[in-house]
Structure 1
Amino acid sequence: MSFSIVFTFVGYYLPGYKSGGPVRTIANMVEHLGDDFDFRIVTRDRDALDTEPYPDVKIDSWNTVGKAQVFYASQETLGLCGVARLLRETPHDVLYLNSFFSFGFTALPLLARRLGLAPKKPCVIAPRGEFSAGALALKAWKKKAYLRLTRAVGISSGLAWQASSQHEVDDIRYAIGNTANNIFIAPNLPSPLQNELQITSENNAIADDSYLRIIFLSRVSPKKNLDFALKVLGQVTVPVVFDIYGVIDDNAYWDKCSQLINTLPEQIKVFYHGVVNHKDVHELLSGYDLFFLPTHGENYGHAIYETLAAGVPPLISDQTPWRDLDEKGAGFVRRLADFDEFVSVINAYAYKTDDERTFFQKSAHDYALQVASGSEVLEQNRKLFQLAACGE
């Protein structure tokens, strides 16, 4: 039986985990659709910020990883000639790119096609929330210049686009213009739920003078808005332990956050724990009362889904697809302009009874179960590649 070959370029992939969402996005897609499509993935030979390659993979060669074939490219291979050679020598029906602003993993493949160095097969590009207003506002002048350059060179025309929601469809059209006339809505596929929710007295940690336990689990970068979270905690009146997990990919930004940490009142305890392996995330999350991510923009937010799956209500901005948490009783969504609302949610949650906490925990987990069991999203992703392979 012949399967359509989806040739995927993504900056990081398994066994990497430090870069966050994109790794989970592609890994989940392969797990769900790997029996329907032949996924061949080109990625870096090392994890985010690592200086050495993975020790247990074949570099500049194909490796079987789950249901996919993965090419771990050395730094020497990731130039225009090397990328063009991979495109020529790897048979494929669809080219799948997982960023717009990635030079090595999007611009170079598109440029190779534009220059006639590689075949022009149907191409789907997933900007992964990069065109949201909050994301575009970060390093705005560089992104505007890059957008103008891609239009001038003509590498962004004739593409199909993947959006996670109607909001992202609007963002893509605003950023790209009239050339973005072929957009598919195919939300990210969630990780399978493997654990039943276990609620014990340890989940309801706050009582009398004990601390409310809050976790930030994401990259430490301006887009994720950790500094906003720290400013909110500076106005909170209840005792809080705030644990930060995630790779620091902007040292200047972390210095700014560190200065804010040093100004926090005595009842706010902040700890940075580094990066957590994805296999340990569920158990880690289950020990917290709230998840706090006032992000400037997410096209999905895998950490939000995994937080719900662990039965922990998220407190997030309205710049993600998870905008119905309040009506589901599963968490709290607030506008970034409403700073005091974030403060109020944390103060109020500290004094909720065990029964009230249990309601939120069960509602969060039930919502994750609903998302995980939905067949519509799976079919949308399947059709994304079926229609793209047919040139529709």
Structure 2
Amino acid sequence: MRKLTRTPFPDDAATPRPSVGAVGTYRVIATAGVFEPGFRGGGPIRSLRFILDTLPGDLDVTLVTRDRDLGSPAPYPGLSGRLLRRDERSAVFYLNPAVPRHWVRLIRHVRACPVDLLYVNSIWSLFSVLSILVVALRLVRVGAILVAPRGELSPGALAIRAAKKRLFLALWAPLLRRLGVRWQACSWLEEEQIRANVPWAQVMVNGNESPIPEHPAPPAVAHDGPLRLVFVGRISPMKNLDTALEAVAGTTRPVEFDIFGPAEDPHYWSRCQRIIAAMPGHVRVRYLGELAAADVMPTFSRYDVFLFPTLGENFGHVILESLASGCPVVCSDNTPFSELIADTGGMVVRPATAADLGRVLDLLADRTPEERVEAKETAGRRYRHWRQRRREPNVLEHARRFCR
């Protein structure tokens, strides 16, 4: 994580405040429910970090985020209510929505200079709703608003608490239309999902580049044991871990399945634990806790297959991290990367039922140690070739042109 330095507010009179909104700069206020040093939010955190790390020199961005990690009851030590500069172009404000003085400080900072763009990540987030309402009430004026749904309009996501989401969208969408809101999709798939729910939307497609290395993964080492499967992700209905567990339980060959990720939904995790408790004797399943971002790729490199029957990904950073680590992917057809997964030696299962996934796992378990090593090397090599051909502009630089 980049080192942050505290930026004093006007009431911190002892130290002059860094300049913001200088003449000629394009000023952006961005919002996100979670950011570094948190890691439970997964891919969107890495997307935002990459966006801030690669800003053109004439952009000035303040990211407003919660003062704690996803699902955590405690704030980050020493960050709550603070505005911290990451570098000369970006800063992060760590907000506790329940503390009035945080809002006073934030509004004072936002209104210090004109805002060219409000960039909100999520439709349902409190940060997104409140910031758009503030603009609608003319408490703050902005040049344009860009909404990044981050997969929230996928069929799988909308099926969870569907009635509430549909009602909210029916009430919220007319206001967004009146404000002339633009939309960011991370893939052609997400663009279709946005248009299916918001037919009038003007959509900017930008694939959310992220700092996933292009250099080769550590050499794979052959092993004679069972097929080594891994799941890395939030333990929530969207990621569909229960189907992965049912698939593993239905295999006829010895397999080992390790699970990493925060148990975001306790009721859902209880269901998963019941499936684990009933596993047949030839299957070993372990829950190994959460992974910091820096540990994700080294972890993937130790496994033969990433099993990921997700109900929907707007981008799917974790898929790219797996491939970059030389770990083939067995996945549903609910991501933008089905073609890449197949090209890198993985398998896209349509439909991703437990029975069909289990049959695929049996085929992979029958591979020799040498064939597993070859599959890992193929995944890493073909990923690097794909990566070298794919480049997109910084999302906010793209937005500056798109939102004119």
TM-score (structure 2 length as normaliser): 0.87
Structure 2: how far apart are the matches of 1:91 and 1:187?
28
Structure 2: how far apart are the matches of 1:101 and 1:65?
27
Q: Deviations over 1:79-125 (max 9, x none)?
A: 996576554346432111111111x1111111111111111321111
Residue 88, structure 1, aligned to residue 111, structure 2: yes
Of 73, 80, 84, the match for 1:63 = 84
1:75 is paired with a residue whose SS is coil
Larger deviation, residues 246-255 vs 70-79: 70-79
Structure 2: how far apart are the matches of 1:124 and 1:315?
33
Match runs of 1:324-339 below 5 Å: 324-325=339-340, 327-339=342-354
The answer for the alignment partner of 2:328 in structure 1 is 313
Structure 1: how far apart are the matches of 2:314 and 2:123?
13
Larger deviation, residues 162-171 vs 312-321: 162-171
The answer for the alignment partner of 1:163 in structure 2 is 185
Is contact 1:110-1:155 (8 Å) kept? no
Residue 15, structure 1, aligned to residue 37, structure 2: yes
The amino acid across from 1:196 in the alignment is P
Is contact 1:10-1:97 (8 Å) kept? yes
The amino acid across from 1:93 in the alignment is D
| Percentage of matched positions with identical amino acids | 33
1:377 is paired with a residue whose SS is coil
With over 3 angstroms needed to count, the CA separation of the structure-2 counterparts of 1:87 and 1:336, relative to structure 1, is: farther
Q: Deviations over 1:222-276 (max 9, x none)?
A: 0000011011111111111111111111101111111111111111111111111
With over 3 angstroms needed to count, the CA separation of the structure-2 counterparts of 1:327 and 1:78, relative to structure 1, is: farther
The answer for the alignment partner of 2:401 in structure 1 is 387
With over 3 angstroms needed to count, the CA separation of the structure-2 counterparts of 1:271 and 1:355, relative to structure 1, is: closer
With over 3 angstroms needed to count, the CA separation of the structure-2 counterparts of 1:337 and 1:290, relative to structure 1, is: closer
The answer for the alignment partner of 2:285 in structure 1 is 270
Residue 190, structure 1, aligned to residue 190, structure 2: no
Q: Deviations over 1:170-195 (max 9, x none)?
A: 111111232x1x11110121224165
Structure 1: how far apart are the matches of 2:62 and 2:369?
48
Gaps of 5+ in 2: 1-22
With over 3 angstroms needed to count, the CA separation of the structure-2 counterparts of 1:252 and 1:235, relative to structure 1, is: same
Structure 1: how far apart are the matches of 2:241 and 2:152?
18
Structure 1: how far apart are the matches of 2:101 and 2:328?
44
Structure 2: how far apart are the matches of 1:23 and 1:345?
32
1:177 is paired with a residue whose SS is coil
Number of aligned residue pairs: give it: 380
Is contact 1:32-1:378 (8 Å) kept? no
Is contact 1:193-1:372 (8 Å) kept? no
Is contact 2:189-2:314 (8 Å) kept? no
The answer for the alignment partner of 1:287 in structure 2 is 302
Q: Deviations over 1:1-52 (max 9, x none)?
A: 8432222100111111012121111012222335463221111111112222
Of 208, 212, 232, the match for 2:227 = 212
Structure 2: how far apart are the matches of 1:366 and 1:73?
42
The answer for the alignment partner of 2:160 in structure 1 is 138
Structure 2: how far apart are the matches of 1:146 and 1:158?
18
The answer for the alignment partner of 1:114 in structure 2 is 136
With over 3 angstroms needed to count, the CA separation of the structure-2 counterparts of 1:23 and 1:319, relative to structure 1, is: same
